[in-house]
A and B are shown apart, each in its own frame.
Chain A
Amino acid sequence: GAVVSQHPSRVICKSGTSVKIECRSLDFQATTMFWYRQFPKQSLMLMATSNEGSKATYEQGVEKDKFLINHASLTLSTLTVTSAHPEDSSFYICSALDRRSSTDTQYFGPGTRLTVL
């Protein structure tokens, strides 16, 4: 398999502040990364697709001005939750697309638990 890291693993912040989450592919280059959100006992909800060197593609209903995504290198994508509010509290998971074989495979990071007070 491949390794994807996420940092931080847990963050608590005050309402109105911004929080940045980093996603790194450690042993492969990923031109495409994905950001998901997961509520308790729910499945993963795709928020956006991040492509290196271009603008992210957001899913319907996801506010692009609130969830800023930057994919500045082939191993790093960041998600910034701007002006966070309690309803943004959730588990955020990134994945990186490994295209080294003929079968594209998504490998996931360990997730970041965001709590907004």
Chain B
Amino acid sequence: QKEVEQDPGPLSVPEGAIVSLNCTYSNSAFQYFMWYRQYSRKGPELLMYTYSSGNKEDGRFTAQVDKSSKYISLFIRDSQPSDSATYLCAMSAVLGSNYKLTFGKGTLLTVNP
């Protein structure tokens, strides 16, 4: 079993839809959870950063972490064609000198106008 599982999609939705992206993980030591957005042939861009369980909202984006279920989600409200990208979940057990991110495979999202 991989440490981080993420459905690669592709996921196609109409403009304005609510998008739900998810990852599951097996390592209970993970405490820091991130979502990155990656446009084609570009580097990943940090969208959301969450520590431990709970919700975090930033504009149209909401990140949820459920450590008991080892499950994290990213919700995008009022999706726009410019949201079309690959979304990567990432997580880490520690900060500091041993910091290392473990990534999901990424979910390819297309928002159709």
A contact residues vs B (CB 8 Å cutoff):
1, 4, 6, 32, 34, 41-44, 46, 49, 51, 91, 93, 95, 97, 103-111, 113
Contact = CB atoms under 8 A, between A and B. Distances in A.
Range class of the B interface residue count: 20 to 34
Contacts of B36: 108
A111 B42 contact: yes
B43 to A, nearest CB: 4
Contacts of B34: 105
Interface in B94-110: 95-97, 99-101, 103-106, 108
Nearest to A97: B99
Nearest to A107: B46
Chief secondary structure at chain A's binding surface: strand
B46 A93 contact: no
B88 interface: yes
A29 B60 CA distance: 31
A105 B49 contact: yes
Nearest to B94: A104
Contacts of A42: 105
Contacts of A109: 43
Contacts of A46: 100-101
9 A-B pairs with the lowest CB-CB distances in the bound complex, closest first: A108-B43, A104-B95, A43-B105, A43-B103, A110-B43, A111-B43, A108-B44, A44-B103, A93-B43
